[in-house]
Structure 1
């Protein structure tokens, strides 16, 4: 799961052209939300994550998944497990 978190953080750095560099020590509650991404960057982040990991965000996704690197990595792991089961 740490590899997924590192990949997610790299996506943030890439889409913000280095303007936002997440702290690897900050992965818990609100760790994504606290980065201050505007709506366009957040949308770009979510679309890039979908493409990178081959997942689709569910309509009833808990808000905590979109706000936390740990929760998002856990969600991605669960979605990949379902796809390959």
Structure 2
């Protein structure tokens, strides 16, 4: 079943910086939303991976990606725009 409101929200986030929480334990990605499709697969550019420190709970930069990253929609838990 399609969710038109989700599609409109992602369309408003195109070419903007977003934060994505993925299924990997305490892992977040921050980058520019370059594209998406009807399955909520997203393409991020200039992505930085963050891991949440178990002791402090703070996000710590883990890795920078030089090329685009494709995330499958079923691996995304949350996606939000960066303020």
The normalised TM-score by structure 2 is 0.28
Which structure has the bigger radius of gyration?
A: 2
Higher strand share: 2
The normalised TM-score by structure 1 is 0.28
